[in-house]
Amino acid sequence: GTSHGVERVGLPTTYYSDGPVGPRSGRATAMPAPMALAATFDRSLAFRHGSVIGNEVKAKGNDVVFAPTVNLMRTPLGGRSFEAYGEDPYVQARIGVGWIRGAQSQGVIGNVKHYAVNNQEGQGPGTLVGGSQGSRQTVDAVVDERTLREMYLSHFEAAVKQANVGSVMCAYNRVNGQYACENEHLLEDVLKGEWGFKGYVLADYGAGRNTANSLENGLDFEPWPGVIYSPTSVSLALTTGQVSEAVVDEHV
């Protein structure tokens, strides 16, 4: 992915690469699956895993790596289970923190994902990019607050507070009725409010739903396909009074 810069204000173009198992740009080193990394219970190895990928991401000219994935394995049928660190939130936190520190030691920005409760596909045909089966984009994860904190958020909190991760990717799914990329509780109350996250929140590809809701509730950047945060969409939200200029400025 590419975020085109704005030369007039000195904003450089930024390049993004996928990365839990290696860069996704041209030929790349295929690293051991993150699930296998977690099975070592070795934090120093997690640092090395992250640093190798971060170095290769940087060598290919990218600035941000879309990794690590730290969603809990609720079911082996989850399409992304192999690229996370298993079913235990403590292990997720320890391996994830090590990985982020390793990647960011190479001068790239880590991107912990997918925030949050993005753990299963749902049932029936879905609307994922590429037409894959499953309804990751529409499933509503209904979770009480204690379970949310203890099982689904603690490893993200560690990524923010202990690894100083530079960016967080919000997920496709709903959490307690509200889409993750416009979820006020997850993004504004917890991530930016309680945890003091100073990086930026970006949407999974195609996870943005509504321009005004996302602006008001914590989404900073939409990397692709740039629909809800296109110049036209943001301008319309401003001119119709759905959001204020101050809200847009805060995201910038």
- Angle 89-104/154-161 helices, nearest 10 degrees? 30
- Angle 89-104/43-59 helices, nearest 10 degrees? 40
Question: Of 18, 140, 144, 204, which one is the catalytic site residue?
Answer: 204
Q: What does the angle CA 28 – CA 76 – CA 207 come to, to the nearest 5 degrees?
A: 65
Phi-psi region of 41 (alpha: psi -120 to 50; beta: other; left: phi over 0): left
> Any catalytic annotation for residue 204?
yes
Tokens 């943001």 sit at which residue?
234
| Helix (H/G/I), strand (E/B), else coil: 30 | coil
β-partners of residue 112 are 168
- Asked if 183 and 173 count as a contact pair (C-beta separation under 8 A), the reply is no
d(CA 191, CA 237): 24
- Catalytically active residues are 204
